Amino acid sequence: MTAAQRRWLLLAPAVAILACVAAGPLLVMLVYSFLEPGEFGGVRPAFSLDAWFSVLFARDMFDPEIVEPNIAHLAILWRSVSLALQTTLVCIVLGFPTAWFIATRPRGTRELWLFLVTIPFWTNLLVRTFAIQEVIRNRGLVNTLLMQAGVIDEPIQMLYTDFAVLVGMAYVFLPLMVLPLYAAMERVDRRLLEAARDLYASRWRMFREVVLPLSRPGLVAGSVLVFIPAIGAWVTPRLLGGGRNLMLGNLIELQFGQGRNWPLGAALSMTLLALVLVALLVYLRAVDPDTRRRDHG
């Protein structure tokens, strides 16, 4: 047996499984997005661009010649992008100081702090989402405390709002921001900070002109790592957002359920995938030093 034969024999089981239940189904979805919907779900084998058209546009009910933007879809797309960006922002605001705090601990205790950040991350997603529900529901921790302190008389409705989705996603994805930021900050040469201080830079100026630029690769990587699962979120908006606050993931699910428009569902899936791939390209440029060096000539 040659080395090449042995190699492909070793790879065969993994390739077979991934081709059948990962790559293959995606190709099927791509094909389905160009077909006509069946009457009770499913597809009819006839080529059509309708699904892709209706991702962003709609035809007038009475005069199909009139094309207008699909307001409902655009609103959901916008909510998805906007909530994902807000989540990223919250994670930056909380994650940046946290990562810096960990990176500046003495060597022995750093791993412990890092471990504290990762524990919630490996905890079941539903357990964490449930925990957020418990904290913000009408008879939950926050409202109970506020009412007992006499700050409010009526509970504040937080659960089943966009705010709840934001809190839930930021809570769940925060470690994805802290870890790459930490990796970048850990490498920052302390002598550069000393030099800045020796030259009478204020601490804020040291932050702005030394810490921030040197942490940039971690910041970009963390932002993309948070943005990607946030824009594809399905569980969090379903449990915390209530019925009307759909995100892209929920809209996709709808097409395969009540909506019974599989091609549209497939086209929306491909749209989501495209958004993720764009974010991934940004990520690769940020973390791969080769690409960066090539860019700067």
Binding residues among 64-103 for another protein as defined by CB under 8 A: 93-95, 97-98, 100-102
Look at the alpha carbons of 96, 102, 106, 110 in this order and tell me if their dihedral is positive or negative. negative
Which CB atom, from 59 or from 214, has the smaller least distance to another protein? Answer: 214
- Binders of another protein among 13-42, rule CB under 8 A? 13-15, 17-26, 28-29, 32
Which CB atom, from 67 or from 126, has the smaller least distance to another protein? Answer: 126
Any idea of the CA torsion for 135, 141, 145, 146, to the nearest 10 degrees? 40
Q: Does 282 bind another protein (CB under 8 A)?
A: no
Distance of alpha carbon 152 from alpha carbon 164, whole angstroms: 19
Quick one: which segment of 12-20, 56-64, 70-78, 215-223 binds another protein (CB under 8 A)? 12-20
Minimum CB distance to another protein, residue 108 (Å): 9
Size of site (CB under 8 A) for another protein: 90
> Burial code of 263-279, b = ≥16 C-beta within 10 A, e = fewer?
bbbbbbbbbbeebbeeb
Angle between helices 212-231 and 71-103 (to 10 degrees): 140
- Of 232, 245, 246, 287, the residue at the interface with another protein (CB under 8 A) is 232
Max distance between CA atoms of the chain, in angstroms, equals 79
Any idea of the CA torsion for 22, 27, 28, 31, to the nearest 10 degrees? 160
- Binders of another protein among 187-216, rule CB under 8 A? 190, 193-194, 197, 203-204, 206-207, 211
Residue ranges with strand state E in 51-159:
57-59, 67-69
Q: Does 218 bind another protein (CB under 8 A)?
A: no
Q: Does 159 bind another protein (CB under 8 A)?
A: no
- Of 61, 127, 149, 199, the residue at the interface with another protein (CB under 8 A) is 127
Q: Does 244 bind another protein (CB under 8 A)?
A: no
Of the candidates 252, 250, 245, which has an alpha carbon nearest to the alpha carbon of residue 270?
A: 252
Which CB atom, from 124 or from 289, has the smaller least distance to another protein? Answer: 124
- Of 75, 141, 278, 281, the residue at the interface with another protein (CB under 8 A) is 141
Minimum CB distance to another protein, residue 234 (Å): 4
Which CB atom, from 117 or from 217, has the smaller least distance to another protein? Answer: 117
Grouping H, G, I as helix, E, B as strand and the rest as coil, residue 39 is strand
DSSP summary character for residue 64: T
Minimum CB distance to another protein, residue 295 (Å): 20
